Structure 1
Amino acid sequence: MGPERPPMTEQLASIASRFQLPGRFVSAVRYGSGHINDTYLVELDDAGARRRCILQRINHHVFRDVPGLMRNIVRVTEHIRRKLDEEHDPEVPRHVYSVLPNEEGGWYIQTESGDYWRALTFIEGAHTYDVLETPEQAYQAAKAFGRFQGLLTDLPGERLCETIPNFHHGPTRLKQFADALAADPCNRARFVRKEIEWVEENEWILLSLADGLRSGLIPERISHNDAKINNVMLDDQTGAGVCVVDLDTVMPGTGLFDFGDLVRTCVVNTAEDEPNPALVTADPLRFEALVEGYLASAGSFLTPAEIRHMVTAGKMITMMIGVRFLTDFLNGDVYFKVHRDGHNLDRCRTQFALVDRLAESDKELEAIVRKHARLD
């Protein structure tokens, strides 16, 4: 008899047995740095051959409609797989992951405790980065997200469900902020008068993309909505973008949401929670790498209006997360995890400082976009 398995391993083995996996469960370890779902890398034995897959517990407190979320993911991944097959892509299994069915052929299971689990194929020979290291990585990440959007421009069928309604909707985030400010449940508004005035002066930025979508100037597209460097796998050998992952927030929006999030997370030189906002800068070389990579794959389908809003998108998404941090600070730090007093306030101030740095570089950044989009 082999060594006794720890209780969590036994639980994971039991859950794994309810899916049609390509092998027998051997072991599982925590995987990745995500804060929403619980992710495990599972090792399998397939008649002596080693295989791996992902087992993931879905946070149904954040994603309230798990069936709708999984329908989105299956539709998106199957459509991308068909498109890649039509292109005769020799590495389709590496360029889009698959959802592995459960025993009955469904795409997830629910345990007696109410938890939702799913199984996914694992992309070998590639990994994600939590911190951007080079402009080339920015280029590859942006190119991968642009490619992802392009493959979904002709997704047939009904509109995807909104897995988190109004996630990037500026007016909604402003109302949530205004409600928190009016209630001021923790008597904290007195500490953030400067930040409150900043939001009031710059609220047009937060409304810009919503106004464009409502008027039709900016077309609705399927977007990832969490486009960060650690949500794209880069090849271990070449560094090329291999596969966009973490598709829980794939839903209707605009491709500019994704480009804006790449700007927010890739051009800044400090941590998201840097206590001294005076240290925040925006690196134009990284911004140019993002523009070049994104347009290399998305330039063929973007409209002139979308291209003209690329710089604004970076400011808008950055301001939005800053307002969300400020709202949570006013509400008593109830949404985002905090690890010190004023943590959400530090995060907010860093985001607002980045918006200011981007605004100060407006002309330079717009010139970069025009150069690579050949608008002049």
Structure 2
Amino acid sequence: MSTGNLKAILSEFDIPQRDYELEQVKYGLINKSYNVVEKSSNKKCYFLQQVDHNAFKDIEGIMHNIGIVTNHFKSQPDAPEHLKTQETISGANYYKSTAGEYWRLYNYIEGHTYYRAENIQLATEAGKMFGQFQNALDGIDITFLRDTIPGFHDMDMRYEQFLESISGATNARKEKAAALIELVKEKINYVKSIWHDTISTCPPRVTHNDTKLSNLLFDDNNHGICVVDYDTLMPGFLPLDFGDSVRTICSTTVEDDTNLKDTFFDISLFKALVTSFIAALEESITGPEIKMLPRTSAYMPFIMGLRMLTDYLNNDIYYTIQYDQHNFDRAANQMTLFMSGVELLDEMNNIVKEIN
């Protein structure tokens, strides 16, 4: 999109009318993002996003949920640092263009991200941040939030989508993915049992639902600043959020690394993460939720690998890819991590028992 068009979008928001430049941000798998820089001071002021309405079918619902959560944070004097939406001239928290594009504007928060935890300090800080964020969400009436992505972590639904993708895939892609397809079919009953045990024993909560390490901002001393990316704020289950954080924080490689022989769970990072996560939640985490934390640590790499494999078989219609086999490489990495999690399950259970 041209600079002129972007500035026209920006003018729809109720912010000081100054001369701004827009710098595209290259990270992120779905939305298009831009830093808004005030030219006179060269200061980054805002963060502009075009929300992908092909990936997200209920953007009004997403922005409704974000409004509920951020307004709740405003009412809490001890709420953690968080993203704040800037209102449009008409008072909404997003703008829909005449072309049907959805835009939102956040305050800019200075910080940096990681794609994998490089040390114990980062894992400890991440567990604390996600635990504190979950604590801050408590008190929101879950019935106020919309289920914007029905079945988001539902293994039964995701497996059906996977089977449909096989039937429509090209022979070349099915042949390339044959070993992964076989692994999914072999392990599906095992992971379905984790899903059903989670939803039958754990209370539904308002959860983030995308707790990867890159959704945390850190300062120059690697102290946590805030949790970002609120697109998936909706009803969910705490152990699944924890498992999703384990997927990126405790892996020895990033999620598209093709070096599979060196891809596994780092148990020392898991111990640091789960210790600080449980401590941050204090009394709000339940016994059944604690019990599920090790199992969901294996579950989440599997379901993410399954979704990436499904997208590969569907000819890459959901996730942004950088090359032709990108989703295949992501899926292979996540399934390798899943197998490592299964192997370490007893050790993870023992760590959680010691903490609790």
Contact kept in structure 2, 1:45 and 1:51, CA below 8 Å: no
Greater gyration radius? 1
Note the C-alpha offset of 1:162.
2.2
SS at match of 1:309: helix
SS at match of 1:306: helix
Alignment deviations for residues 318-341 of structure 1 (CA, whole Å, 9 cap, x no partner): 001111222233333333344445
- Taking a change above 3 Å as real, the CA distance of residues 333 and 20 of structure 1, as seen in their structure-2 partners, is closer
The AA in structure 1 aligned to 2:150 is P
Question: What is aligned with 2:38?
Answer: 44
CA–CA distance in 1 between the matches of 2:177 and 2:107? 46
CA–CA distance in 1 between the matches of 2:274 and 2:73? 23
Question: What is aligned with 1:75?
Answer: 68
Note the C-alpha offset of 1:34.
1.2
- Greater shift, 325-334 or 240-249, is seen at 325-334
CA–CA distance in 1 between the matches of 2:143 and 2:352? 33
Note the C-alpha offset of 1:284.
0.8
CA–CA distance in 2 between the matches of 1:44 and 1:16? 12
CA–CA distance in 2 between the matches of 1:45 and 1:82? 34
CA–CA distance in 2 between the matches of 1:19 and 1:338? 31
Note the C-alpha offset of 1:314.
1.1
SS at match of 2:138: coil
Determine if the alignment matches structure 1 residue 172 to structure 2 residue 166.
no
Question: What is aligned with 2:191?
Answer: 206
Question: What is aligned with 1:247?
Answer: 230
Give runs of aligned pairs for residues 152-301 of structure 1, distance below 5 A. 152-156=137-141, 158-186=143-171, 188-215=173-200, 217-237=201-221, 239-301=222-284
Contact kept in structure 1, 2:48 and 2:106, CA below 8 Å: yes
**Among 299, 302, 313, which residue is 1:316 paired with?**
299
Contact kept in structure 2, 1:160 and 1:252, CA below 8 Å: yes
Determine if the alignment matches structure 1 residue 112 to structure 2 residue 95.
no
- Taking a change above 3 Å as real, the CA distance of residues 299 and 181 of structure 1, as seen in their structure-2 partners, is farther
Determine if the alignment matches structure 1 residue 60 to structure 2 residue 53.
yes
Contact kept in structure 1, 2:135 and 2:281, CA below 8 Å: yes
- Taking a change above 3 Å as real, the CA distance of residues 342 and 127 of structure 1, as seen in their structure-2 partners, is closer
CA–CA distance in 1 between the matches of 2:129 and 2:140? 18
- Taking a change above 3 Å as real, the CA distance of residues 161 and 330 of structure 1, as seen in their structure-2 partners, is same
TM-score between both structures, scaled by the size of structure 1: 0.87
Note the C-alpha offset of 1:173.
0.8
Determine if the alignment matches structure 1 residue 12 to structure 2 residue 6.
yes
* Structure 2 segments unaligned to the other structure (5+ residues): none
- Taking a change above 3 Å as real, the CA distance of residues 26 and 274 of structure 1, as seen in their structure-2 partners, is closer
Contact kept in structure 2, 1:13 and 1:25, CA below 8 Å: no
* Structure 1 segments unaligned to the other structure (5+ residues): 1-6
Contact kept in structure 1, 2:311 and 2:319, CA below 8 Å: yes
CA–CA distance in 1 between the matches of 2:338 and 2:145? 31
- Taking a change above 3 Å as real, the CA distance of residues 338 and 123 of structure 1, as seen in their structure-2 partners, is closer
The AA in structure 1 aligned to 2:9 is I
Contact kept in structure 2, 1:226 and 1:258, CA below 8 Å: yes
CA–CA distance in 1 between the matches of 2:48 and 2:169? 41
TM-score between both structures, scaled by the size of structure 2: 0.91
Question: What is aligned with 1:144?
Answer: 129
- Taking a change above 3 Å as real, the CA distance of residues 143 and 205 of structure 1, as seen in their structure-2 partners, is farther
The AA in structure 2 aligned to 1:62 is A
- Taking a change above 3 Å as real, the CA distance of residues 196 and 10 of structure 1, as seen in their structure-2 partners, is closer
When the two structures are aligned, how many residues end up with a matched partner? 356
SS at match of 1:24: coil
Note the C-alpha offset of 1:252.
0.8
SS at match of 1:99: coil
Q: Percent identity?
A: 33
The AA in structure 1 aligned to 2:164 is D
- Taking a change above 3 Å as real, the CA distance of residues 34 and 179 of structure 1, as seen in their structure-2 partners, is same
Note the C-alpha offset of 1:258.
1.5
